[in-house]
């Protein structure tokens, strides 16, 4: 090749590539760094996190230059699954990375932190039996990864995310579950109190951060970072903003007290158990396990990451600036999947193409041909 020998592409391994965060990482490396990296994203059938031998064999075969672990069990998983995926799987990957001497990037969660304001990276919850399965397993993973770094030299960076927002969340979790409830008219009142603030994480920021810290291991190795937007968000105001965009009547601006909400949650749990006993499969929305958090502040400090060498490519992006695109994307997707009732197409289909396709296909065909002719004939 003229000008020298091209550098062979390195292999990267992303675990949890079918999720929102993992999928965003895979897309980033396949599009923006395609000439430098080949990214593998095996599913659980190809690579089991609970089988250290399988992990070792897979890594020995492919010899990745780094591992990013974005895999999580569902937040309402039973103790065994939460332990195996969120904790045991994370540590099995870390041991394999340590054996190969490669960087290991672990995606963690603000569930490891208490409620409060301006929480720093070290403000973890105390580990105890009373924690929920999800929070306990994610916290244990953080603690063990820190131990492996201090005692055995594991090259690890922990990225702790808050409430993640972005397109292509096919599992409808977290923020998108809240959005789905509003769209589906399943939230009649505000299940929070005035002034409750939470931190949010723009999913598009994460691949650029991972890209950067892989190039600057001396600075980022052994560190934990809160990866959040600079300014926290008022939960009630966010809900009411979404309602305004969609021109809905609900949820009403009436704040449901926490004791009443807790009683409702308990009644719903009783109903779900009753349905399961008679053979009707039903389960609680996983986010209800965090009902108390809807009534408490949890804001994370972004100061440590902002003080690093990483430069946010979209510092002005917030969940509010992204709302129009998120609404258009998810309304279209959910309606196509018949997950929501018919909606006003003028909001997200301003040219009415879907309505024309349904009722006036000949007219739509003629308009399309006309547009194509103009484009082809244009100089």
pLDDT band at 259; cut points 50, 70, 90: confident
Mapping DSSP onto H, E and C, the string for the chain reads: CCCCCCCCCEEEEEECCCCHHHHHHHHHHHHCCCCCEEEECCCCCCCCCCCHHHHHHHHHHHCCCEEEECCCCCCCCCHHHHHHHHHHHHHHHHHHHHHHCCCEEEEEEHHHCCCEEEECCCCCCCCCCCCCHHHHHHHHHHHHHHHHHHHHCCCEEEEEECEEECCCCCCCCCHHHHHHHHHCCCCCCECCCCCCEECEEECCHHHHHHHHHHHCHHHHCCEEEEECCCCCEEHHHHHHHHHHHHCCCCCCCCECCHHHHHHHHHHHHHHHHHHHHCCCCCCCCHHHHHHHHHHCCEEECCHHHHCCCCCCCCCCCCHHHHHHHHHHHHHHHHHHCCCCCCCCHHHHCCCCHHHHHHHCHHHHHHHHHHHHHHHHHCC
Q: Which of 10-19, 47-56, 251-260, 339-348 has the highest mean pLDDT?
A: 10-19
129 domain-assigned: yes
Let me know if residue 374 belongs to a domain.
Answer: no
| Mean pLDDT of the 242-258 span | 86
The fraction of the chain above a pLDDT of 70, given in percent, is 81
Specify if 213 maps to a domain.
yes
For the cut 90, the answer to whether the pLDDT of residue 44 exceeds it is: no
Is residue 58, in this structure, part of any structural domain at all? yes
Q: What's the whole-model pTM score?
A: 0.83
By residue range, what is the domain housing residue 156? 7-162+199-231+298-317
User: In what side-by-side order are the strands of the sheet with 104-109?
Assistant: 37-40, 10-15, 66-69, 104-109, 156-161, 223-227
Any domain includes 375: no
Which residues share a beta bridge with 68?
Answer: 14, 105
Residue 69 and residue 36 share a domain: yes
Same domain membership, residue 193 and residue 106: no
The predicted model gives 225-230 an average pLDDT of 96
**CATH assignment at residue 53:** 3.40.50.720
Say yes or no to pLDDT of 65 above 70.
yes
Picking from 114-118, 276-280, 363-367, which range would have the lowest pLDDT averaged per residue? 276-280
Q: Is the pLDDT of residue 350 over 50?
A: no
What confidence tier does 251 reach under pLDDT thresholds 50, 70, 90?
Answer: confident
Q: Are residues 123 and 239 in the same domain?
A: no
Does 370 fall in a domain?
no
Same domain, 148 and 19: yes
Write down the pLDDT at residue 57: 87
**Residues 57, 47 within the same domain:** yes
Q: Are residues 105 and 174 in the same domain?
A: no
Sequence-ordered list of residues with C-beta below 8 angstroms from that of 266, at least 6 positions apart, any chain: none
126 shares its domain with 205: yes
Per-residue confidence at 276, pLDDT binned at 50, 70, 90?
Answer: low
For 292-304, how does the pLDDT look when each residue is reduced to its tens digit (9 = 90+)? 778 899 999 999 9
**What's the rounded mean pLDDT across residues 80-108?**
92
List the single range of 164-173, 256-265, 340-349 with lowest mean pLDDT. Answer: 340-349
Q: Mean of the per-residue pLDDT values for the chain?
A: 83
How high is the pLDDT of residue 250? 86
- Residues 114 and 243 occupy one common structural domain: no
State how many domains the chain has: 2
**Residues 218, 280 within the same domain:** no
What is the tens place of the pLDDT at every residue in 146-188?
A: 999 999 999 999 999 999 998 877 776 778 888 888 888 878 8
Residues 75 and 224 grouped into a single domain: yes
Residue 102 within a domain: yes
Residue 268 is assigned to a structural domain of this protein: yes
Q: What is the mean pLDDT of residues 134-139?
A: 91
Going by pLDDT thresholds of 50, 70 and 90, the confidence category of residue 351 is: very low
Q: Are residues 158 and 86 in the same domain?
A: yes
Do 191 and 96 reside in the same domain of the chain?
Answer: no
């Amino acid at each position: 090749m003229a000008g020298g020998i091209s550098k062979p592409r390195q292999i990267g391994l992303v675990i949890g590539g079918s999720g929102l965060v993992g999928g965003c990482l895979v897309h980033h490396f396949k599009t923006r760094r395609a000439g430098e990296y080949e990214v593998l994203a095996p599913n659980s059938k190809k690579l089991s996190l609970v089988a250290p031998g399988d992990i070792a064999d897979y890594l020995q075969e492919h010899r990745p230059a780094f591992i990013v672990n974005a895999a999580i069990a569902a937040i309402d998983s039973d103790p065994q699954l939460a332990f195996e995926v969120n904790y045991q799987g994370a540590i099995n990957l870390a041991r394999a990375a340590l054996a190969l001497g490669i960087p290991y990037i672990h995606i963690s969660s603000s569930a490891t932190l208490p409620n409060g304001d301006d929480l720093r990276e070290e403000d973890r919850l105390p580990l105890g039996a009373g924690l929920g399965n999800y929070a306990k397993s994610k916290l244990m993973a953080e603690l063990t990864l820190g131990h492996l770094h201090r005692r055995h030299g594991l090259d690890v960076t922990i990225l702790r995310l808050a409430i993640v927002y972005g397109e292509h969340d096919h599992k409808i979790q977290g923020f998108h579950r809240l959005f789905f409830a509003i769209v589906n008219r399943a939230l009649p009142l505000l299940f929070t109190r005035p002034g409750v603030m939470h931190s949010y994480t723009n999913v598009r920021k994460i691949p650029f951060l991972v890209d950067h810290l892989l190039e600057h291991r001396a600075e980022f190795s052994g560190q934990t970072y809160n990866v959040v937007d600079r300014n926290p968000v008022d939960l009630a105001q966010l809900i009411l903003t979404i309602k305004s965009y969609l021109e809905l009547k609900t949820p009403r601006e009436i704040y449901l007290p926490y004791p009443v909400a807790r009683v409702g949650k308990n009644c719903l749990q009783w109903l779900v158990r009753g349905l399961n006993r008679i053979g009707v499969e039903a389960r609680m929305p996983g986010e209800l396990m965090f009902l108390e958090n809807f009534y408490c502040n949890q804001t994370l400090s972004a100061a440590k990451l902002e003080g690093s060498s990483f430069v946010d490519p979209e510092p002005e992006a917030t969940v509010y600036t992204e709302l129009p695109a998120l609404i258009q994307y998810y309304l279209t997707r959910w309606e196509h999947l018949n997950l929501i009732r018919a909606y006003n197409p003028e909001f997200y289909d301003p040219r009415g193409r879907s309505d024309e396709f349904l009722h006036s296909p000949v007219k739509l065909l003629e308009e399309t041909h006309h547009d194509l002719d103009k484009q082809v004939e244009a100089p």
